[in-house]
Structure 1
Amino acid sequence: MKISLTQKYNVPGPRYTSYPTVPYWNEAAFTVEEWKSSFQKAFSESNSENGISLYIHLPFCESMCTFCGCNKRITKNHSVEEKYIKAVLKEWSLYCSLLPERPLIKEIHLGGGTPTFFSSNNLEHLINGIFSFANKAENHEFSFEGHPNNTTYEQLKKLYELGFRRVSFGVQDYAEKVQKAINRIQPFHNVAKVTFWAKEIGYTSIGHDIIFGLPFQTIEDVIDTVEKTNSVKPDRLAFYSYAHVPWIKGNGQRGFNEENLPKDAEKRQLYETGKILLSANGYHEIGMDHFALKTDSLFHASQNKKMHRNFMGYSASKTQLMIGLGVSSISDSWYGFAQNTKNLEDYYQILEWNQLPVVKGHILDEEDLIIRKHILNLTCELETSWNNETGYFEELPEVLLSLKEIENDELIIIGENSIKITEAGRPFVRNICMAFDLHLKRKSPETNLFSMTV
């Protein structure tokens, strides 16, 4: 019996928000001092011209969503807010003390957790605290993630006044049975309300996050979710595959049984159905799992080949240096990665010692940098190229040989010095990137590390 392309290529694989991927970082050779040097080098090369980015992780949530793989702390005690913000600003001051001049901030993203767990006053205190050490770039892009159930008009207004123009709301799916399974009960009118509030206030890019492959989810559920989404017309959408990784997140992703999850062709059909509906409603597919209206900055960045991808996801502009603040956050200097401790109490303690709370990382070698560029090209532009001077690496012929079957399946076109992903190949970008992943090739994982690619 002939198997489908989905069955053939649906294997565990990274999402490629970085290269090397976190499981393949050389932690043994990494030191915080090396990271500081890498950070300072990137700052000197990029601050005056492009500025830098900040990712700020706000980990608190009032309840556990069983689909979520993020680092979070479940509590209804809002007295935790002030202590955490004080710690984040302490971390930021330690970074700024390493710099020869005030940083110019081009991008800020507040992620979580639930950033809208924090009050308007505390969010204002956080952002004002950041800019007590920094300047704001003229063409800045500030964004945050909002929970539709607890995002208030006051929060939206306050963050707008502080320079935020982009917000994304987690929707996932509107079917009641799905929402119960993932412990994320939020009626459509809550999402519509915050979306219209954001439009009224003046946000220029409003996003919704939708997931396919959730427990009990059917094609009818996807159709209903997309139709409801289209009725409020967000500017961009993340429509991505549910990452089922219970071996990493433990009981947090065991609120349902394995047999309740759509699989293989059934799961892929959920995406294809949603994609057709989104395209019919004016949304254009961008990179992996993203859609945008022609009026959105992400669409323009994609058309102009200026889109970037990092631990914050896709962005419409590129900065070389991204500093991750807060528990579990990851920083990226292009030359190296550094991750903070995932334990909140340890995070507080290390900062009390006036030290950066970095506990692991990776400094990229020359080969890493070349491969990273190829993978970034493939995930952002759906193509990459090389010649004898740039982009070539010793194992490239073997990589191209390993891609022959993918080429035979008409998912890519291999040219003399280039690879282009075809329209049929879009669902398999992660598989194509895996062919370039030399760390993965040299040491295949012996245990579960990644979610399925399709």
Structure 2
Amino acid sequence: MNLIQKYNVAAPRYTSYPTVPYWDENNFNLDSWKSLLKTSFQESNDQDGISIYIHLPFCEKLCTYCGCNKYITINHSVEEPYIQAVLNEWRLYLQVFEQKPRIREIHLGGGTPTFFSATNLQALLNGLCKDAILLPDASLSFEGHPNNTTEAQMQTLYNLGFRRMSLGIQDFDPKVQDIINRIQPFETVARVVNQARAIGYTSINFDLIYGLPLQTDASVKTTIDQVMLLRPDRISFYSYAHVPWVKGVGQRRYSEADLPKDEEKRALYELGKTLFASHGYTEIGMDHFALPGDELMTAYEAGKLHRNFMGYTVTHTSLLVGLGASAIGDNWYAYAQNEKNITAYQRLVNSGTFPIVRGHLLSREDLLIRKHIHALMCKFETSWNREDTQCDAIMEGLERLQELEKDGLVNVLPKKITVTPQGKPFIRNICMAFDARLWKQLPQTQIFSKAI
């Protein structure tokens, strides 16, 4: 059995530890979360500041590959009531903080943030910053759909301090675009990129996906050749997660027969990785590549790369406030997720109630394992040379790593492990060795996408 067959098992992506299916919701309560939120704010605000993620869930069309929480509509009258609800939720946080927050990072995610008009995006950001301090070196970014990202939106956000944008490209092949219901010509993407650079954006990211239905070596190569004509500063090259039992009708438009098989799918990644390297991109963390000089690359080289529910970031804040329907917040000691249903979410916050419907209070062991998984994801190594970084779960994880070490994926040293170049594509499997909660209660059904 080759390594791809051996390790292509269901595995978490580890944007958090514990992963969401293993949150202990029975021991979570709003009062404890608010108390920990206040503690985290007091610890982090004066030193690092805080991060804010705002979930803007609306899309005009359903992209069939998408695993995000979204609401499909062409009715733009939903914009203003939703923004008002987000600002009402933010006021609930301000009441807990009791002093002006210092904002280090803002990310607008979706859905499609560029579903919202330039005017409404400005109202959202002005309302957010009115009772806060936006730090001069704050990192502000947004996700955009090339088909509805306008020059007016980009200029408005630039004027508010945004310098980074991420465009969902996925694939340029017409057949692939058709089956995933995301048709966006190269010329459309080029227009947005050229306008963004003319405005002054300093970092542009492209999201690409490998493993989509109907993809081939030739189509992926052609897509990357076209991407290189625009030369984004960084590239996210994600593995398609086929989870129709979770995402329903969208991913049932095609079947597994339309998808590249295990070895074929891995070959697509290796092809992309090789092509990126030939154009000067360096692999950073899981699924990410960047050009020299990009701030993500600089953070990686300095050992300061950070990972949270927003993915990889250059700022290391302990407190991430999640605003909007389905958004997840992280105060380092606890996680909390908002109501997913937009109507219910708006009703809760408009009545002065935190819209949190579930969460998890991290134990001491959770905190230790989280640090090790975070280090593996951001630095491809971790160590436990101090007593306060050790726990039984680490020793148990080392036993599970023995097989991966035999396969050349990790080097296990005294009180330290490093991921080999051959092991980087299997980083989810390596992190899984330390996932104490998963091993204590192995899932009886498939709740995660495949690792490869």
TM-score where L is the length of structure 1:
0.99
Mapping of 1:57-136 within 5 angstroms?
A: 57-136=55-134
Mapping of 1:87-236 within 5 angstroms?
A: 87-236=85-234
**Which deviates further from its counterpart, 14-23 or 246-255?**
246-255
> For residues 77 and 353 of structure 1, what CA distance do their matches in structure 2 show?
24
Amino acid of the structure 2 residue aligned with 1:453: A
Alpha-carbon displacement from aligned partner over 1:116-140 (angstroms, at most 9, x marks no partner) = 0000000000000001121101210
Amino acid of the structure 2 residue aligned with 1:195: V
- Partner SS, residue 407 of structure 1: helix
The answer to whether structure 1 residue 276 and structure 2 residue 271 are counterparts is: no
Runs of 4+ in 1 over 4 A off after TM superposition: none
Amino acid of the structure 2 residue aligned with 1:90: N
Alpha-carbon displacement from aligned partner over 1:140-164 (angstroms, at most 9, x marks no partner) = 0000001000100110010000000
Contact 2:393 2:434 in 1 (8 A): no
The answer to whether structure 1 residue 318 and structure 2 residue 311 are counterparts is: no
Task: Give, in angstroms, the shift of residue 49 of structure 1.
Answer: 1.1
Amino acid of the structure 1 residue aligned with 2:325: V
- Partner SS, residue 262 of structure 1: coil
- Report the RMSD for the aligned CA atoms in angstroms: 0.7
Match of 1:253 in 2: 251
Mapping of 1:390-401 within 5 angstroms?
A: 390-401=388-399
Task: Give, in angstroms, the shift of residue 398 of structure 1.
Answer: 2.2
Match of 2:345 in 1: 347
> For residues 105 and 397 of structure 1, what CA distance do their matches in structure 2 show?
38
- Partner SS, residue 224 of structure 2: helix
Task: Give, in angstroms, the shift of residue 100 of structure 1.
Answer: 2.4
> For residues 281 and 426 of structure 2, what CA distance do their matches in structure 1 show?
20
Amino acid of the structure 1 residue aligned with 2:447: L
The answer to whether structure 1 residue 332 and structure 2 residue 330 are counterparts is: yes
- Partner SS, residue 28 of structure 1: helix
> For residues 270 and 197 of structure 1, what CA distance do their matches in structure 2 show?
31
Task: Give, in angstroms, the shift of residue 353 of structure 1.
Answer: 2.2
Amino acid of the structure 1 residue aligned with 2:326: S
Alpha-carbon displacement from aligned partner over 1:392-413 (angstroms, at most 9, x marks no partner) = 1013322111111100111100
> For residues 299 and 44 of structure 1, what CA distance do their matches in structure 2 show?
30
> For residues 386 and 169 of structure 2, what CA distance do their matches in structure 1 show?
47
The answer to whether structure 1 residue 423 and structure 2 residue 421 are counterparts is: yes
The answer to whether structure 1 residue 45 and structure 2 residue 40 are counterparts is: no
Task: Give, in angstroms, the shift of residue 387 of structure 1.
Answer: 2.2
Alpha-carbon displacement from aligned partner over 1:289-336 (angstroms, at most 9, x marks no partner) = 000001100000000010000110000111100000000000001110
> For residues 307 and 397 of structure 1, what CA distance do their matches in structure 2 show?
26
Contact 1:411 1:421 in 2 (8 A): yes
Task: Give, in angstroms, the shift of residue 365 of structure 1.
Answer: 0.5
Structure 2, unaligned runs of 5 or more: none
Alpha-carbon displacement from aligned partner over 1:153-194 (angstroms, at most 9, x marks no partner) = 110010000000000000000111111110000011111111
Match of 1:363 in 2: 361
Task: Give, in angstroms, the shift of residue 389 of structure 1.
Answer: 1.4
- Partner SS, residue 392 of structure 2: coil
> For residues 263 and 278 of structure 2, what CA distance do their matches in structure 1 show?
22
- Partner SS, residue 163 of structure 2: strand
TM-score where L is the length of structure 2:
0.99
Alpha-carbon displacement from aligned partner over 1:69-106 (angstroms, at most 9, x marks no partner) = 00001000001000000000000001001112100001
Match of 2:31 in 1: 33
Contact 1:4 1:265 in 2 (8 A): no
Amino acid of the structure 2 residue aligned with 1:370: L
Match of 2:53 in 1: 55
> For residues 351 and 388 of structure 1, what CA distance do their matches in structure 2 show?
44
Match of 2:303 in 1: 305
- Partner SS, residue 201 of structure 2: coil
Contact 2:176 2:214 in 1 (8 A): yes
> For residues 64 and 339 of structure 1, what CA distance do their matches in structure 2 show?
23
Aligned residues: 452
Amino acid of the structure 2 residue aligned with 1:19: Y
Contact 1:309 1:376 in 2 (8 A): yes
Amino acid of the structure 2 residue aligned with 1:51: G
Task: Give, in angstroms, the shift of residue 224 of structure 1.
Answer: 0.7
- Partner SS, residue 149 of structure 1: helix
Contact 1:339 1:361 in 2 (8 A): yes
Counterpart among 434, 438, 441 of residue 443 in structure 1: 441
Amino acid of the structure 1 residue aligned with 2:377: T
Contact 2:396 2:434 in 1 (8 A): no
